[in-house]
Structure 1
């Protein structure tokens, strides 16, 4: 353990006053039991040393001395010694980061091998791996901008949707960087936290520059522009040709990228084959996050006083000796340590004596015992959340139905989706958005539920194919086959369809983007 003495201080220095009685108590006890001092003035000093017989003390440590040591060590622990800052820096990758990937056709150019889009996805894959367990959101844009995933800490889920992105998923042509900035601002407003948006693109729409400048004024959103492509441009993938039979060439608009960076007051970088571009993103995101959080007023220090709890407990146990007047001290400190120690995993009389049912449920929830947490919680929201994670959906529905909040309706919608009840899920998400309009997770899940409902309806309308078989073969000639009823046929079909959907996020994203574009067109 390295201690920086230059930064060492106490968080609660008032507790250091306990050092005074802790040091005085052993000294006063020794002074009181000094027989020679008590007889001083009564017997001549030259006779006193021959008349006083000092009893042999079999105990090297006396109760008063032990109590003094406990007071001193306890005072230091309660004062909160610290020497290390708990900084919310990007060194721990906790700063919110929003990735916006351009899906316009020019991103299919092959001047950056194997293509611009694939090179960008490869770099983002490495960045997501660096930030595993940290909040990262994903946006796709071309002629319109769409939220792919809100801020999530699930790196595997984020990467699976990232790899599904490709030119052609968004039907509208163009480069709507302004739309991506608008989505990023709404995400950060919901999180109430400063963050960074990274635009990975090979060009920009010059008509949006003034609007981008106005949109970012006074905002906590920092924009970074990462250029993808080479100055010479490249051929489009698949050997696409124009009307004259000449190969189509995708240009690299460096001038528009510089204009985009100026309009957004953003640093401009370029995609590299090394980790320099990733380090560049992390450095700017870290500096922006710390500056937006403030100076020392926003910094927290790690309290190291808890390291002294174990020596304190040992001293308390040593005080349990027969005949000692402070033998009760050990039991008192032991009881206090039980209150602060993480012991409520075993529900019983001891846990009930020191912890409420919700506290026991919270401990079980944080340690992944969701079924146990659902049984312990009395708070309906947390009982519902625990039941949802434990896949006890009937209990989750019953718990969330008792509440009238945006978060409760959001989880209610998630539960209905798990049960494939998309109509109820859509209604729940809309109720959540009615109570909290800026709720990106509910907005994204509402779009998902609408897409799932549409696919369900399309599948049911399509029905079985009309073609007749070439030949009919029966394994039971006399009875021409048997009719075997299967009550679970529809459920089995739905489950198979959901499994297929989960393995094809590109198909889902294409439908989602199309529905959102259609809704935006109808609204305008």
Structure 2
């Protein structure tokens, strides 16, 4: 633990008066003792024979321990600090919305293996850095579509992210205005300031005035992360022919820097670029942090970490000796107590000592906040937190047992997630519907319900089209124990493998169908007078 001496100060300096009292107390006691001896009504030459004076006049006395208590207690109560109390990633308190460009130009391979794949890899790293944070996902080309509302489930978010591909959205173009409107609606639901991170290689300059008007008075901050290289031109294959995407359009490798600069100016958005290291992620974190501070007023008040609680352990040890008789006899339990309290990770595994000071739920919460999910699941008595710890530990069977006892929207939501991880989609669908019944405005449950229905449909389709192969011959042993071992479910294993292979592409099919339906609805609404 490094201490920045330049920032070292005390939060409550008046408590340091106890330090002065603790320093003065032994001197005052010694002087008072000597004064009492001088004023005794016994003659000095007789008094020395009546007193029992210890051989070591400087040995530890109770007054010395009391002085130590006052000194350490005064320092602890004064609140020594040298670090600001800021979360590691401040924008975790507010949603971050990711907008990925799926236009055909994102298939360019000037950023290997392609611009879109590089974006997906970069966002995967960002999602891992924002573990437990609310993050939403928007995909756009000529139209903008909400893929997933702000969620705290990084696995679900990454599943949908990796399913994105260029050509999913039929309409050509770059509808930045639609992305901003989608993001504003998400922030209105969250009732919190947030940041929109757009990853693209260009912009539609015809929307600049509308973009500027849409962002006026909004708490939405826009960040632009440019992807690609400038002046690459049309991409060609090994034979020199123009490279075409799935729709037959030529894949352009040009990076429209001028359009992005104009968009950044219109949206008052910082403009960065995709990098091979984590500099771009740190750039995103920095701007999101500053925006959150400015929007919530965190800059007006700086909070500091109070490090005085570290002195509680020596204070406890000193207090232990102060209340016991026979100083030399009680050194051993004191040392054992100090060693027990100084063991690493004792709050989660301190056994009887922890049980004496903390409830099981408090021990479970400490283990949960420090990422020790299996230990947290063992300690928790509260069924919701016990289930959540088991879910984070990937023990979905144990999570089912706990969440089945929780009659709340969140409980049914995680119950559905646990069923989905165990590939029990009908039960997951029923749990998500119950969660929505208890809490109609539950975007995460709606998204997971749609995904579970799509996966269940794919599973049923695979079961229908799976080839039915009858065995050539089946023989049963009349006597038990005399048969030969053999595999009779090879076809079932092949069918399961085929279904699992299809399962990985299900989110992509689901999103593509969803985008087409939404585009059709938008076109129909636009054609109405």
* Same fold, judged at TM 0.5 (above): yes
2:139 pairs with 1:140: yes
- After superposition, the Cα gap between the structure-2 partners of 1:237 and 1:184, relative to the gap in structure 1 and judged at 3 Å, is farther
Q: How many Å separate the matches in 2 of 1:30 and 1:518?
A: 89
2:384 pairs with 1:381: yes
From 273, 288, 293, the counterpart of 1:290: 293
Conserved? CA contact 1:110–1:237, under 8 Å:
no
Which residue of structure 1 lines up, in the alignment, with residue 7 of structure 2? 7
CA shift, 1:104, in A, is 0.8
CA shift, 1:461, in A, is 3.3
CA shift, 1:488, in A, is 12
CA shift, 1:11, in A, is 2.9
Which residue of structure 1 lines up, in the alignment, with residue 481 of structure 2? none
Which residue of structure 2 lines up, in the alignment, with residue 180 of structure 1? 179
1:260-303: CA deviation from partner (whole Å, max 9, x where unpaired): 33442213345567877556545433432333343455532122
Which residue of structure 1 lines up, in the alignment, with residue 427 of structure 2? 424
Specify the SS of the correspondent of 2:67: helix
Q: How many Å separate the matches in 2 of 1:276 and 1:352?
A: 45
Which residue of structure 2 lines up, in the alignment, with residue 29 of structure 1? 29
2:359 pairs with 1:356: yes
Q: How many Å separate the matches in 1 of 2:451 and 2:417?
A: 10
CA shift, 1:393, in A, is 4.8
Conserved? CA contact 2:313–2:341, under 8 Å:
no
CA shift, 1:108, in A, is 2.3
- After superposition, the Cα gap between the structure-2 partners of 1:475 and 1:487, relative to the gap in structure 1 and judged at 3 Å, is closer
1:29-67: CA deviation from partner (whole Å, max 9, x where unpaired): 223321576429x89xxx979986884542522111111
CA shift, 1:77, in A, is 1.4
Structure 2 counterparts to residues 197-346 of structure 1, below 5 A? 197-205=196-204, 208-209=207-208, 212-229=211-228, 232=231, 234-236=233-235, 239-240=242-243, 253=256, 256-271=259-274, 280-316=283-319, 319=322, 322-323=325-326, 343=346, 345=348
Q: How many Å separate the matches in 2 of 1:392 and 1:110?
A: 41
Q: How many Å separate the matches in 2 of 1:476 and 1:427?
A: 40
Which residue of structure 1 lines up, in the alignment, with residue 460 of structure 2? 457
CA shift, 1:409, in A, is 2.2
Aligned length: 501
Specify the SS of the correspondent of 2:218: coil
- After superposition, the Cα gap between the structure-2 partners of 1:123 and 1:460, relative to the gap in structure 1 and judged at 3 Å, is closer
Which residue of structure 2 lines up, in the alignment, with residue 102 of structure 1? 101
Q: How many Å separate the matches in 1 of 2:130 and 2:295?
A: 23
Conserved? CA contact 2:7–2:83, under 8 Å:
yes
- TM-score of the superposition, structure 2-length normalised? 0.73
Specify the SS of the correspondent of 1:145: strand
Which residue of structure 2 lines up, in the alignment, with residue 70 of structure 1? 69
Conserved? CA contact 2:148–2:157, under 8 Å:
no
Specify the SS of the correspondent of 1:199: strand
CA shift, 1:83, in A, is 1.9
Q: How many Å separate the matches in 1 of 2:125 and 2:363?
A: 39
- After superposition, the Cα gap between the structure-2 partners of 1:494 and 1:150, relative to the gap in structure 1 and judged at 3 Å, is farther
Conserved? CA contact 2:159–2:507, under 8 Å:
no
Specify the SS of the correspondent of 2:415: helix
Which residue of structure 1 lines up, in the alignment, with residue 82 of structure 2? 83
1:105-148: CA deviation from partner (whole Å, max 9, x where unpaired): 1222456666443554566567668x475746544322332426
Conserved? CA contact 2:138–2:145, under 8 Å:
yes
- TM-score of the superposition, structure 1-length normalised? 0.74
Superposed CA RMSD in Å reads 5.0
Conserved? CA contact 2:96–2:150, under 8 Å:
no
Gaps of 5+ in 2: 478-483
Shifted more, 63-72 versus 337-346: the winner is 337-346
1:412-444: CA deviation from partner (whole Å, max 9, x where unpaired): 211221343323323433443455555443343
CA shift, 1:199, in A, is 1.3
Conserved? CA contact 2:105–2:251, under 8 Å:
no
Shifted more, 377-386 versus 305-314: the winner is 305-314
Q: How many Å separate the matches in 2 of 1:374 and 1:165?
A: 35
Q: How many Å separate the matches in 1 of 2:515 and 2:450?
A: 8
- After superposition, the Cα gap between the structure-2 partners of 1:498 and 1:234, relative to the gap in structure 1 and judged at 3 Å, is same
